Homo-oligomer: A and B are copies of this chain.
Amino acid sequence: MEWISNSRILIVGLGLIGGSYAKALKRLGYHITAIEKRQSAIDYALENHIINDGYTTVDPEIVGSADAVIFGLYPKVFKDWIAQYQDYLKPGAMLTDVTGVKSCIVYDIQKMLRDDVEFIASHPMAGREVYGVENANDRIFRDANFIIVPTDKNTPEGIRWVGGLARIIGFSRISVLSPEEHDEMIGYLSQLTHCIAVSLMTCSDNEHLVEYTGDSFRDLTRIANINDLMWSELFMLNRDSLLKYMDIFLGEFAALRDMIRDGRVEELREKMRLSTKRRAYFNK
């Protein structure tokens, strides 16, 4: 087994992803401490042996004993946490996160951060439409993508460390993108996708649709079950990339509508063949 040198890991924010990291890492033998404001989440994680110990407040000794810290917080809360508590961090500690947007936080955090610790941003593409440590499941990382998002401030050691973390947890593919590339890509693949699911779901208030539907509508609206607090924050923090892709999609969709309206069947079929061809890249 590959190994990362830091043996005491602190997870700050024990949601779905933080909790799933905890589960995976504890299974591998690491000592896992959690800081999470929700006592019931700590209780659940202790009862289910997902963590070794957990706290609802930020104690200097607890933070100071961690070799590595994984932040599973909302973007703004994450920045505030660093501003307020970074003095507690152990010299040499490695930090990473699971945040869905990068440009708006990575530079700010690296700028304010002490010189003797390193924050290397990363994004595990393993989200689910369920939330909380109560749904934690370390199988979500299998077959999932992991994106390392370094800047000029990161060291080769930092990049290797977070790549090692991803490998031991079981991610199947690890890529490196700049914060800007990451946010552009996420605007399309994740945020636009959620906007579409929400809009599709709100088209009708018919409560009986479940009696008639097939799997395609169910699949397209699975993520219409959405955490409004988290996603609205992510959308606003990546507004430019998201709006760019929303407008591209609007153009594609309106063009398709016009083809149908005008009975331009050959163009319609050409578009379908293009989508079929592009979808083929995604067949696993």
Binding site for B on A (CB under 8 A): 125-128, 144-145, 147, 173, 175, 177, 185-186, 188-190, 192-205, 207, 209-229, 231-232, 235-236, 239, 242-243, 245-250, 252-254, 256-257, 260-261, 263, 265, 268-276, 278-282
| Nearest B residue to A181, CB-CB | B212
Q: Is the CB of B194 within 8 A of A216?
A: yes
In the bound complex, CA of A265 to CA of B220 (Å): 24
Q: How many copies of this chain does one complex carry?
A: 2
| Nearest B residue to A235, CB-CB | B260
Given A232-B265, A243-B260, A272 contacting B198 (CB threshold 8 A)? yes
Given A125-B212, A220-B219, A235-B260, A271 contacting B203 (CB threshold 8 A)? no
| Nearest B residue to A273, CB-CB | B228
Hey, which chain B residues are within 8 Å of A175, CB to CB?
211-212
Q: Select A272's contact among B228, B245, B275, beta carbons within 8 Å.
A: B228
In the bound complex, CA of A242 to CA of B224 (Å): 21
Q: Is the CB of B242 within 8 A of A217?
A: no
Q: Is the CB of A207 within 8 A of B281?
A: yes
